[in-house]
Amino acid sequence: MDDPRGDMERHEPPPSLWPVGFAVGIVCLLVGLIVSWPAAAVGAGLAAVFGFLWARDVVSASRGPTLPEPAELEGRPSAPAIPAHQGEAAMPEPEPAERFPRNVFLEMSTLGLGAVIGGIVTVPAIGFAVLPAFLKQHSPQIDVGPITDFPQGQYVVATFLRNPSEGEISRRTAYIRNNGSVKGVPSFTCISNRCAHLGCPVQPGGPVFDSKKQTVKTKNGEVDLIPMLPAAGFICPCHGGAYDQEGNRTAGPPVRGLDRYEFLIKDGHLILAGTYSVASVSGTGGTAKIHRYQTTGPGQHIDGPEAWLYPVQPPH
């Protein structure tokens, strides 16, 4: 018969070498992730084997040997009194059937009602806190001025308010180049300055002609256009990510090319509408071939096996 007062036995884990092997496996796995895949696989295998052995050890130890049978103790009248928690209880435990069913019903209904009330209170609260971050996310259309303000073949730093009602916090920068017309259709390269590593603002790798700054009034308020010459492409000040003039990653930690803005032309104005992510660009200017994907956060792969780590994106 089980001790009705619960098992008060010490459960100190016995000394074991399995945790050490498990730790070695984890270390090997983590180092392997950086150094080589086979080492990581070996580490994972070690960790799995030793983890299993450790778990088996812990489980078998906690079953442990049982207390001596009460009859054995009672057979020795001269022995000291049995501790109160051992042996037969003075009064037998009530059989399960002896519990009043109404009593059980009331217990259960009180607990159940409490759970329901708790759920009614907490679930909507969590919903209110979480859902707004994922609903009604849409990219506004940003008017950056007449296309005649963008000289052909010249990169321009355009800074604008993404959403003027939000104020300065929504100020964004795009690097825009007029590629002239391709097959009779105007072509622009509109690169977002958000680094594909961790989102710092990339800077032009070349002179920015502040004296030729031009401020255009559009529906989005004032838009600053400053001509520049990014001879060395774009460089991030935070961790040294570098890109060429098309936004292809050339050096440093970024995992892909720079994001770009969709654009359209309305009443002779260049409108930026939403972003998309770019794995890489082959070719240059208007005839470039862009390997585009849906907008993805900085630091996340969008092609290759690493992209399997990010199967679903929240709405951007």
Partner 1 sequence: MASKKSARRQQLARTAMYPLDWLEERSGLVGGVRYFLFRKVPGDTNWFHTLGSATLTAFLVQLVTGVILAMYYKPDPQNAHSSIDHITNDVTLGWLVRGMHKWGASVFIILMFMHMGRVFLFGAYKYPRELNWIIGVLLLATGLFEGLTGYLLPFDQTAYWATVVAININGTAPFLGPFLASLLRGGAEIGPDTLARFYSLHMLLIPGALIGLITLHLYLVIRLGVTSPPWSDEAAGEGPPPAPPSARAGLVRPRPRAAVRGRPTE
Does 300 sit near partner 1 (CB under 8 A)?
yes
**Minimum distance from residue 198 beta carbon to partner 1 (Å):** 4
**Minimum distance from residue 183 beta carbon to partner 1 (Å):** 34
What distance in Å separates the CA atoms of residue 23 and residue 34, rounded to the nearest whole number?
17
Does 213 sit near partner 1 (CB under 8 A)?
no
Contact 291/278 with Cβ under 8 angstroms?
Answer: yes
Q: What are the angstrom distances between the C-alpha of 155 and each of 127, 139, 269?
A: 45, 24, 17
Does 316 sit near partner 1 (CB under 8 A)?
yes
Helical spans, DSSP H, in the chain: 18-35, 37-63, 70-74, 101-130
Contact 172/160 with Cβ under 8 angstroms?
Answer: yes
Does 9 sit near partner 1 (CB under 8 A)?
yes
Read off the DSSP letter of residue 201.
B
What distance in Å separates the CA atoms of residue 38 and residue 45, rounded to the nearest whole number?
11
Scored b (16 or more CB within 10 A) or e, 114-139 reads: eeeeeeeeeeeeeeeeeeeeeeeeee
Give the nearer residue to partner 1 in terms of CB position, either 49 or 58: 58
Does 289 sit near partner 1 (CB under 8 A)?
no
**Minimum distance from residue 121 beta carbon to partner 1 (Å):** 16
Within residues 237-256, the interface with partner 1 by CB under 8 A covers 238
What distance in Å separates the CA atoms of residue 46 and residue 23, rounded to the nearest whole number?
9
Region class of 233: left (phi > 0), else alpha (psi between -120 and 50), else beta: left
Give the nearer residue to partner 1 in terms of CB position, either 15 or 184: 15
**Minimum distance from residue 40 beta carbon to partner 1 (Å):** 15
Does 65 sit near partner 1 (CB under 8 A)?
yes
With a CB cutoff of 8 Å and minimum separation 6, the contacts of 36 are none
Among 162, 269, 291, 292, binds partner 1 (CB under 8 A): 162
Rg over alpha carbons for the chain, rounded to the nearest Å, is 34
**Minimum distance from residue 64 beta carbon to partner 1 (Å):** 7
Among 4, 38, 77, 83, binds partner 1 (CB under 8 A): 83
What distance in Å separates the CA atoms of residue 94 and residue 280, rounded to the nearest whole number?
74
Retrieve residue 233's tokens: 């492409």
- Choices 4-12, 95-103, 120-128, 182-190; region in contact with partner 1 by CB under 8 A: 4-12
Does 133 sit near partner 1 (CB under 8 A)?
yes
Give the nearer residue to partner 1 in terms of CB position, either 112 or 315: 315
Give the nearer residue to partner 1 in terms of CB position, either 155 or 278: 278
Give the nearer residue to partner 1 in terms of CB position, either 269 or 316: 316
Q: In this structure, which amino acid lies at residue 127?
A: G
Among 30, 35, 41, 64, binds partner 1 (CB under 8 A): 64
**Minimum distance from residue 222 beta carbon to partner 1 (Å):** 17
| Interface residue list for partner 1 (CB under 8 A) | 5, 8-14, 64-65, 67-68, 83-86, 130, 132-134, 137, 162-163, 166-170, 198-200, 238, 295-300, 309-316
